[in-house]
């Protein structure tokens, strides 16, 4: 494992949550601080195009491959963060 891969793979739950909030805020064009971690992503307007893009970024940047359908089942940033932290721990 390279240093870059090691750095990429070692992230705290807080870092993952902040990264997710930043990515969602980018897609929705609203400040990350205005996104409630317990709010519905669909309620914010995160549509299927953005869901596919977010899943691709999760795979590319966090090294955690997930299916876009997961975001319809796990619809909040806090739940998605917890799920990704669990995947990263495996």
Q: Which residues contact 18 (CB under 8 A, 6 or more apart)?
A: 32
| DSSP string for 4-29 | HHHHHH---HHHHHHHHHHHHHHHHT
User: Which CATH number does the domain housing residue 10 bear?
Assistant: 1.10.1200.10
Predicted confidence (pLDDT) at residue 3 exceeds the cutoff of 90: no
74 backbone dihedrals φ, ψ, rounded to 5°: -110, 95
Helix, strand or coil, per DSSP, at residue 37: coil
Residue numbers of the domain that contains 23: 3-89
> What are the pLDDT digits (tens) for 28-78?
999 989 999 999 988 988 899 999 999 999 999 999 999 999 988 998 999
Let me know if 20 is exposed, middle or buried by CB neighbors in 10 A (0-12, 13-18, 19+). Answer: buried
pTM of structure: 0.83
- Quote the number of domains for the chain: 1
């Amino acid at each position: 494992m390279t240093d870059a891969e090691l750095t990429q793979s070692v992230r705290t739950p807080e870092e993952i949550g902040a990264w997710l909030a930043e990515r969602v805020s980018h897609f929705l064009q609203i400040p990350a601080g205005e996104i409630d971690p317990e709010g519905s992503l669909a309620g914010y307007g995160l549509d299927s195009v953005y869901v596919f893009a977010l899943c691709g970024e999760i795979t590319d940047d966090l090294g955690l491959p997930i299916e876009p359908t997961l975001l319809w089942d796990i619809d909040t940033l806090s739940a998605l963060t917890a799920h990704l932290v669990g995947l990263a721990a495996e």
